[in-house]
Amino acid sequence: MDRRARLQTARLYLIASDRPGGRPLADVLGPALEGGVDLFQLRCKDAADETVLAASEVARELCAAAGALFFVNDRPDLAAAAGADGVHVGQDDMPVSRARQIVGADRLVGLSTHAPAEVDAADADLIGVGPVHATPTKAGRPAVGLELVRHAAAHARVPWFAIGGIDEDNAAAVIGAGAARISVVRAIADAPDPRAAAYRLRRMVETVALHHGPAHAA
């Protein structure tokens, strides 16, 4: 399937560094993909380009073998160089249009959104909606709660993933608020068994997709 077709069926998005939970990337990402992750973003804040590209090679090969999409955070130039499927940018980074120029029309661009107006105006291929709960990966960014999830469920025009402090204890409430796709970091990256953690989260979110269909998730 092409990238946009795979995006439509994606449900579980893992974001992690090159050393998730202090472990080699392959030791976490490989099992997570087996458990049901179908979109992975490499997020290496402040890392050297060489570090990002080396980790990208590992991630690209694992994701390709699993049929999952692979994104690089913040850096469309590195996403293109690494052969990634896309890049993810924030509201304070470069505009989506500029990121798209750099990665090319055949790759995907994701965008973080934190308010109803940002969800409504998003011109990306996919959006992250949150942070639903406070999270150390978004220090200083206030939690938006479930109201923004409900807004996205009603108004988002592109595939969207609820994000921010989501784990097995609170995912049901997020899914119940309308999220048919979720993004996680620590819930898988720090899990003793990434495969089992991914499997359980995937089962939770697939229940919504099964009962509500694609329209529920944009």
Q: Which residues pair with 184 in a beta bridge?
A: 14
Active-site pick, 43, 181, 195, 202: 43
Query: Is 97 tagged catalytic?
Result: no
Ligand-binding site membership of 43 (annotated): yes
At 12, the amino acid letter reads L
Ligand-binding site membership of 97 (annotated): no
Ligand-binding site membership of 137 (annotated): yes
Ligand-binding site membership of 56 (annotated): no
Query: Is 98 tagged catalytic?
Result: no
Query: Is 183 tagged catalytic?
Result: no
Ligand-binding site membership of 207 (annotated): no
DSSP the chain: --HHHHHHH--EEEEE-SSGGGS-HHHHHHHHHHHT--EEEE--TT--HHHHHHHHHHHHHHHHHHT-EEEEES-HHHHHHTT-SEEEE-TTSS-HHHHHHHH-TTSEEEEEE-SHHHHHH--SSEEEE--SS--GGGTT----HHHHHHHHHHH--S-EEE-SS--TTTHHHHHHTT-SSEEESHHHHT-SSHHHHHHHHHHHHHHHHHHH-GGGG-
Ligand-binding site membership of 73 (annotated): yes
Ligand-binding site membership of 112 (annotated): yes
Active-site pick, 11, 75, 138, 202: 138
Ligand-binding site membership of 85 (annotated): no
Active-site pick, 112, 181, 183, 202: 112
Ligand-binding site membership of 93 (annotated): yes
Give per-residue burial for 50-60: e unless 16+ CB within 10 Å, then b. eebeebbebbb
Ligand-binding site membership of 135 (annotated): yes
Ligand-binding site membership of 6 (annotated): no
Annotated binding site for Mg(2+): 74, 93
Give the residue numbers marked as catalytic.
43, 112, 138
Binding-site members are: 41-45, 73-74, 93, 112, 135-138, 165
